[in-house]
Amino acid sequence: MKHNVDKIKDLRGVLSNGGAMVKARRAMGLMGGTFNPIHYGHLVAAEAARDAFDLDQVIFVPSGQPPHKSGFFVADPEHRYLMTFLAIVSNQRFEISRVEIDRSGPSYTSDTLAHFHALDPTVAWYFITGADAILDIVSWHNTGGIFRYAHFIAASRPGYSLKKIEAMRRQLGDEPIARIHPLEVPALAISSSQIRERLTAGLSIKYLVPEAVEHYIAKNDVYAALKA
Ligand code: NAP
């Protein structure tokens, strides 16, 4: 973890200011995911990334139309947006964006990164998502351009083999690989699919998701389709 922080500080560069070191660029996190539903693993990952990479804020970006999801139930984008909003509202350093919810067509990360870069090109953007999703990055839309606007933080459980990311070097090249930063997150043992399975089986999801999210799911029967 220390290794990562030092590396990022090098990449961003520091300026000397009368002996004091100050950050040359603001750094912001973009937490990308389907959040179907959001859980404590996502929240712990975002907070850990904020700490480790000295990010000013983390903006959660729920996918509108996930480009690669088929074969299982994805809750309505507005439900996923509202659940994510409820989960992050108490953290002053967390924000949420509707950019992918409001954009029509598949939610390509390259479009999202171009959007945030255009909002503020002076910011160093860090896209945070699961290591398994990152392992698939070669199949993402516009892989060539995707590394232009952001670094990537690959959140994984402890013990996850980082060799898998290193193995992508041949496909991606040295520069993109240097922009992928692994981050171990113990709470990522929780997963959205496990929560959906529990809901299908009528089991409790208490303490896996924030209480407000648990109540929202129950009140709106967000995953009713799974029980049918
Ligand atoms: P996924 O395949 O559902 O997730 C892969 C793994 O990563 C799962 O174990 C998942 O756990 C975990 N994960 C997902 N988001 C995470 C996060 N923010 N922090 C920590 N772990 C996370 O992937 P996804 O959630 O749909 O996609 C992840 C991001 O990649 C999204 O922003 C998506 O838009 C982007 N993406 C873009 C493209 C493209 O541009 N073509 C293609 C694929 C993905 P949970 O199931 O518990 O979340």
Q: Do the Cβ atoms of 128 and 45 come closer than 8 Å?
A: yes
Q: Is the pLDDT of residue 126 over 90?
A: yes
Q: Residue range 154-183: average pLDDT?
A: 88
Question: Best substitution site from 34, 125, 129, 142 to test ligand 1's pocket, by max atoms within 8 Å of Cβ?
Answer: 129
8 Å CB contact between 208 and 190: yes
CB 84 within 8 A of CB 62: yes
Arithmetic mean of pLDDT, 202-206: 97
Asked whether 132 lines ligand 1 (CB < 6 A), one says: yes
Q: 34 C-alpha to center of ligand 1: Å?
A: 6
pLDDT at 186 over 60: yes
What pLDDT score was predicted for residue 24?
Answer: 58
Q: Is the CB of 226 under 6 A from ligand 1?
A: no
Protein residue whose Cα sits closest to atom 38 of ligand 1: 140
Whether the per-residue pLDDT at 199 is higher than 60: the answer is yes
The closest of 77, 65, 92, 91 to 37, measured between CA atoms, is: 77
Average pLDDT, the chain: 88
Specify the amino acid at residue 158: P
Query: In the CATH scheme, what is the homologous superfamily, with its name and number, of domain 4-10+26-188?
Result: HUPs (3.40.50.620)
**pTM for the whole structure:** 0.90
Centre of ligand 1 from the C-alpha of residue 166, in Å: 19
**Residues 4-15: tens digit of each pLDDT:** 433 333 333 334
